[in-house]
Amino acid sequence: MRSTKHRFLAAAAALLPLMAAACSDRAPTAAAPAEPAAEKQSVYSVVDPATGEPRAINVPASALAAPPAPLAVIDPACDPNFETCDISPPPPTDVCTYALRITGVDSLIFGLEPYAVPEAKSTYKTTCAYQVVTGLGARVDANDNVTTLWIEYGTLNPDGTVTGRHVVKTGSDANHDVEAWIGVPDGVDGSITSVIMGQGGTHNLRTLRGAYQTFGIGSNGKPTLQGVDYGLQGGVDPFSSNIDLSWSAYMPSNQVIIGYGFRSAYYKMRTGHAYVGTIN
């Protein structure tokens, strides 16, 4: 027969783990529910547990709303270097009475296969001027094709403000959700100036980073980029070092990005085109 002392020691030993848990700032490991892998996401994109495909959750509301009028979706087979890429109709409100003229298109190419044809690309032009890029998102499908490209454009005004921001969707599956998105913050008058992309050895766009610059008024009295880069992040793995495309080029202060085009193959973003216009 066990003594009273033995029974007391046994009871005390059983209580010790409970007392330790009560005094700790952390709950016992056994009490914490297991976190599903699909819930371990960035603040920019989430993984759809049904498909395993990322989906950007930081896209602007305008990207999800039905457009008030047909948007200027440029056919991916169209080359923005030629006037055949001029689009119509213009936005519902004609901005030509106050918008700056942004003309000419130069193509800056980059990537492992820079001379390949992008699978999706767009620029946006009103009846008088190209618009500047304020946001960017894309998706790569299971066949390693860029099937969805969303670009947000805005009108650059003579006072350096950027107004009328709206999302143009293109690609063979233009209305699919994008896997990653970056954009100039709301209320900021700026334009995207660089882009970094990575698939992480998958069929998905997992990493999307970039930078934007704000506009100021130059010595010529016209808006100019201010030369200071502000970072942007997107995707389920926004800070990954597994990068396929990285582009940031010095541009004269009177030039701006007016569109992008991309291509993917063999688990990598392999081709990037940046289209540059000149502020007149």
H helix and E strand count, the chain: 2, 15
**What is the rounded CA–CA span in Å between residue 120 and residue 262?**
6
Calculate the dihedral angle through the C-alpha atoms of 242, 64, 109, 209, rounding to the nearest 10 degrees.
-30
Structure tokens at 133: 């890029």
**What is the rounded CA–CA span in Å between residue 268 and residue 151?**
20
**What is the rounded CA–CA span in Å between residue 190 and residue 230?**
10
Q: List strand residue ranges (DSSP E) for 82-141, in order.
A: 102-110, 120-123, 132-140
Which residues lie closer than 8 Å to 109 by C-beta, 6 or more apart?
Answer: 115, 271, 272, 273, 274
Query: pLDDT of 167-213, one tens digit each?
Result: 999 999 999 999 999 999 999 999 999 999 999 999 999 999 999 99
Q: Cβ of 24: how many Cβ atoms within 10 Å?
A: 9
**What is the rounded CA–CA span in Å between residue 45 and residue 81?**
33
Structure tokens at 152: 């947000």
Nearest 5 degrees, angle CA 72-CA 150-CA 226?
95
Nearest 5 degrees, angle CA 175-CA 247-CA 240?
75
Spans of all domains in the chain: 54-279
Amino acid at the residue 40: K
CB-based contact 155:279 (threshold 8 Å): no
On average, the pLDDT of the chain sits at: 79
CA atoms within 13 A on the CB side of 52: 5
127 CB burial (10 A radius; 0-12, 13-18, 19+): middle
Which residues lie closer than 8 Å to 2 by C-beta, 6 or more apart?
Answer: none
Per-residue pLDDT of the chain (280 residues; tens, 9 = 90+): 444 444 434 444 444 343 443 333 333 333 333 334 444 568 999 999 988 999 999 999 888 876 544 444 444 444 444 433 444 444 445 555 556 778 877 889 999 999 999 999 999 887 667 899 999 999 999 999 999 999 999 999 999 999 989 999 999 999 999 999 999 999 999 999 999 999 999 999 999 999 999 999 998 899 999 999 999 999 999 999 999 999 887 777 889 999 999 999 999 999 999 999 998 8
115 CB burial (10 A radius; 0-12, 13-18, 19+): exposed
Residues of the chain with pLDDT > 70, as a percent, come to 72
Query: pLDDT of 117-139, one tens digit each?
Result: 999 999 988 766 789 999 999 99
